[in-house]
C-alpha cells in the first residue's frame, strides 16, 4: 500500500513503534489481539488497528503540500479536512481558512473567493453543487482534492445501482459531509433516500409492506429524499450503500432487514430484481478498527479511553462498542484528563460534555483499554497515555516496556 509523507509531529515514540512492530509481525492483518504495554502500576491494552488510515494520511499529505506549494496565495478548506481538532488547528495556524462548518453553514461567502485562490476539498468529498460553484469562480476544483478513495468507491456503487434501476438507500448521518456528498451523486443516477439507523429502516420497511401511509412516510423522510421521489414506485427496487464510517454491524443489519422485507413483499423468485445484494461499502480502516475494538472487549480491563474528535463518526462508533463492556471515556486529547481524580469527556449520545470523578480505580495495577478514531494522530494517543502514567510512581521506563513487547512479538 502507498505510503505518505506525514509531518513527524503526528508520530510518536511508543505508539508508532507498536504499530510498526505489529505491521511487520502480522503483515496479513490476521491477528486482532491488542498489544499489552505493562508499565507496572498501569497496564494499557492498545488496539491492533486505530489512528490514521489511508484516506486521512492522503488528505494530510495533500493539504500540507497545498500550503507548501502556494506560499503567496490564499488557501481555503471547504470545511474541516478531517474530524480531528489538532490536525485542523495545525492547518489553520499555517493560514488555511474554513469556508464552511461541518454542517454546511457558510463561514466565508463563496462570493469572496477569487479564481487564483486555492480551495482544498476535504477527505469526505463535497457535493456536485459546491463543485460547480467553485468552477464558476474559476477555481481548479480537483487540484487539491483530498476525497478518500473509499468514499469515491461508494459513489461508483451508487452509480451502478442507478444504472441497474435500483433506488439508493444510504445508511448515514444526514448532516455529515460525506453523506451529503454521496447523496448529491446518488440522486443524479437514481431516486435516493437517507436513513440513520435500523429504527428508520423499519419505518421505511413498514411503508413498503403497506403497514404505514404516505403521510407517515413524508413525516419521517421528506427532508432526506431526492427531488421527485415517489415512494409508491421508487421503493420497488432498492439497494443499500453507506457512509463509510458507520457501524459495520448496523449496516449489515439494515441490509439484511431490507432483504427480508423485499422477500416478504415480492417472494423469492423475484427477489433479485427488487433487492440489490450489494457488498458492504465501509472502508477497510473502519472495518479493521471496529474488529480490533471488538477484540479489545475480551480483555479484563477497568475502563476504556477513546481519543478523537467529538464530531468524528468513526470514533463515536468505537466508543459505542467499548461502552458495551467498560466505563468508557471519549476525550479529544490529554488536556481532558484534569487529574488522577477527574476527567472531562464527551457523551456523543446526548452531544454534551461531562466530568467524572474518581475515574481511575485505587486498586493497582489498573488496566486501561486505549484506542482512537481513524483521524487521530498517534502523538495525541501517546500524550494521553503519558498523562495517565504521570499520576503514578515506580512506572517502568517506556524503552523497557518496548523491549518486553518485542519479545512477545
Residues with a catalytic annotation lie at 178
Residues 6+ apart with CB under 8 A from 89: none
**Beta 35-38 vs 42-46: how paired, if at all?**
antiparallel
324's grid cell: 458495551
Cell of 71: 506560499
* DSSP-assigned beta bridge partners for residue 174: none
Cβ(321)–Cβ(79) under 8 Å? Answer: no
CA distance 355 to 350: 14
Instruction: Provide the sign of the torsion angle of the four alpha carbons 125, 179, 79, 293, taken in this order.
Output: negative
CA angle, residues 340, 343, 344, in degrees to nearest 5:
160
Cα(180)–Cα(329) distance, rounded to whole angstroms?
Answer: 29
Neighbour count for residue 180 (Cβ, 10 Å): 22
For the CA atoms of 360, 364, 369, 370, what is the dihedral angle to 10 degrees?
Answer: 70
161 neighbors 168 (Cβ within 8 angstroms): yes
CA dist., res. 225 & res. 203, Å (int): 14
Is residue 6 within 8 A of residue 52, CB to CB? The reply is yes
3-state DSSP assignment of residue 262: helix
* Contact of 104 with 175, CB cutoff 8 Å: yes
Cβ atoms 173, 163 nearer than 8 A: no
Amino acid at each position: 500500500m502507498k505510503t505518505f509523507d506525514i509531518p513527524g509531529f503526528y508520530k510518536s515514540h511508543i505508539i508508532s513503534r507498536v504499530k510498526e512492530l505489529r505491521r511487520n509481525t502480522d503483515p496479513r492483518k490476521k491477528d486482532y489481539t491488542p498489544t499489552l504495554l505493562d508499565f507496572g502500576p498501569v497496564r494499557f491494552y492498545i488496539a491492533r488497528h486505530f489512528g490514521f488510515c489511508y484516506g486521512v494520511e492522503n488528505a494530510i499529505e495533500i493539504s500540507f503540500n497545498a500550503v507548501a506549494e502556494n506560499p503567496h496565495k490564499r488557501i481555503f478548506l471547504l470545511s474541516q479536512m478531517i474530524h480531528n481538532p489538532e490536525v485542523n488547528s495545525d492547518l489553520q495556524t499555517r493560514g488555511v481558512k474554513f469556508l464552511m462548518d461541518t454542517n454546511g453553514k457558510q463561514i466565508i461567502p463563496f462570493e469572496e473567493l477569487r479564481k487564483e485562490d486555492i480551495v482544498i476539498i476535504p477527505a469526505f468529498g463535497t457535493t456536485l453543487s459546491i463543485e460547480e460553484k467553485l468552477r464558476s469562480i474559476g477555481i481548479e476544483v480537483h487540484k487539491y482534492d483530498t476525497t478518500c478513495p473509499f468514499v469515491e468507491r461508494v459513489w461508483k456503487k451508487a452509480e451502478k445501482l442507478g444504472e441497474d434501476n435500483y433506488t439508493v438507500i444510504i445508511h448515514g448521518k444526514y448532516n455529515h459531509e460525506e453523506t451529503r456528498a454521496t447523496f448529491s451523486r446518488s440522486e443524479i443516477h437514481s431516486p435516493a433516500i437517507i436513513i440513520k439507523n435500523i429504527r428508520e429502516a423499519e419505518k421505511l420497511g413498514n411503508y413498503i409492506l403497506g403497514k404505514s401511509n404516505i403521510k407517515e412516510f413524508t413525516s419521517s423522510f421528506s427532508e432526506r429524499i431526492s427531488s421527485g421521489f415517489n415512494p409508491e414506485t421508487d421503493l420497488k427496487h432498492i439497494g443499500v450503500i453507506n457512509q463509510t464510517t458507520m457501524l459495520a454491524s448496523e449496516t449489515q443489519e439494515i441490509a439484511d432487514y431490507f432483504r427480508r422485507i423485499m422477500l416478504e413483499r415480492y417472494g423469492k423468485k423475484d427477489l433479485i430484481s427488487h433487492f440489490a445484494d450489494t457488498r458492504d461499502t465501509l472502508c477497510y480502516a473502519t472495518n479493521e478498527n471496529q474488529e480490533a475494538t471488538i477484540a479489545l472487549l475480551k480483555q479484563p480491563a477497568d475502563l476504556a479511553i477513546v481519543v478523537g474528535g467529538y464530531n468524528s463518526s468513526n470514533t463515536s462508533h468505537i466508543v459505542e462498542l467499548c461502552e458495551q463492556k467498560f466505563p468508557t471515556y471519549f476525550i479529544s486529547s490529554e488536556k481532558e484528563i484534569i487529574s488522577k481524580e477527574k476527567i472531562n469527556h464527551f457523551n456523543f449520545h446526548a452531544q454534551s460534555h461531562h466530568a467524572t470523578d474518581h475515574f481511575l480505580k485505587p486498586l493497582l495495577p489498573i488496566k486501561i483499554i486505549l484506542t482512537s478514531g481513524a483521524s487521530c494522530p498517534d502523538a495525541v494517543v501517546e500524550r494521553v497515555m503519558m498523562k495517565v502514567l504521570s499520576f503514578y510512581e515506580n512506572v517502568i521506563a517506556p524503552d523497557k516496556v518496548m523491549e518486553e513487547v518485542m519479545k512477545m512479538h
